[in-house]
Amino acid sequence: MSENGNSNNITRRYLDSLLIETRFMDSTNPDLSFELFGEHFSSPVMTAALSHLDHFMFPGASEAIARGAKEAGSVMWYGMADEEEIERLAATGARVIEIIKPYKDRDLIFRKIEHGQKTGLLAVGIDIDHPFAEDGSFDIVDGYEMKALSTKEMEEICRASKLPVIAKGVLSERDARSCLSAGVSGLMLSHHNNRIEYAVPPLAVLPEILKLADNVPVFAEDEIRTGMDAFKALALGAKGVCIGRPLMTALKQDPEHGVADYLKNVNAQLGKAMAYTGCTDLHRMDISVIRKV
């Protein structure tokens, strides 16, 4: 794969091309408080939907991220997991959004949603961008075959769920329109850590998708690493952002406090950016402070 086509690199360059103008007059200390699906949190900066952390890192790694998210007042998104792991994450007191793969066995999707309801999760989501393998065939993950969802199937999922359903992996008006017509409660803009090369950066398509979303929250991830990255996404209209790989590094360096410390530092950076631009709370974010070079 060409490094020029690496979607993470493209997204990073796009983020770095976005500059801000300062607005100090009449500004004040910013309020980062965040409301999602009727609940209140300290910040719109959340953890990304990582998976298999106990296998790739160390036993209890996913719970360590959950505890860090709770301490920082953040929502925890989490990816592929069995019921027992999801229950352990919820037991930490963190508010969890479980992201479910597009299993060919659609009944498995409904069973996972039902389990999420019983466990008291904040919401569930569907990885719409993970049906295919590298050769275009349907992917097989942990022995489970995947299959692309239809708009009708997404509608059935939304009707069946008592929890908000988020479509994760949206990068086009076409998919956004289909998911919104199906009744989703949120959209996550993402290329899933370079699942396809030359993907459009999430923030590049954010403005046009916001025009379709009305009051449905739109989130962004991919290369969100700092409070300034988060600020740019929020100023452009994202409801919230997710941070992934940097939290894994923080967790490795300090399993006890690394995640919470990293999120708190990002929140401090976000607060600085908001204060310096006159965006004093999340309802006063202003797209006009962003300039693109």
pLDDT of residue 55: 87
pLDDT of residue 106: 97
pLDDT of residue 246: 97
- List the catalytic residues: 192
The predicted-structure confidence for 106-148, as pLDDT tens digits, reads as follows: 999 999 999 999 999 999 999 999 999 999 999 999 999 999 9
pLDDT of residue 1: 53
The predicted-structure confidence for 224-242, as pLDDT tens digits, reads as follows: 999 999 999 999 999 999 9
The torsion defined by the Cα of 182, 125, 46 and 273, in degrees rounded to 10, comes to -20
Average pLDDT per block of 10 residues along the chain, 293 residues long: 85 98 97 98 98 91 97 97 96 98 98 98 97 95 96 98 98 98 98 93 98 96 98 98 97 97 98 97 97 91
- Would you mind telling me the total number of residues written for the chain in this entry? 293
pLDDT of residue 2: 65
Least Cα distance to 74 among 195, 242, 226, 204 occurs for 242
pLDDT of residue 165: 98
3-state helix/strand/coil string of 64-128: HHHHHHHHHCCCEEECCCCHHHHHHHHHCCCCEEEEECCECCHHHHHHHHHHHHHHCCCEEEEEC
Pairing label, strands 39-41, 34-36: antiparallel
pLDDT of residue 293: 85
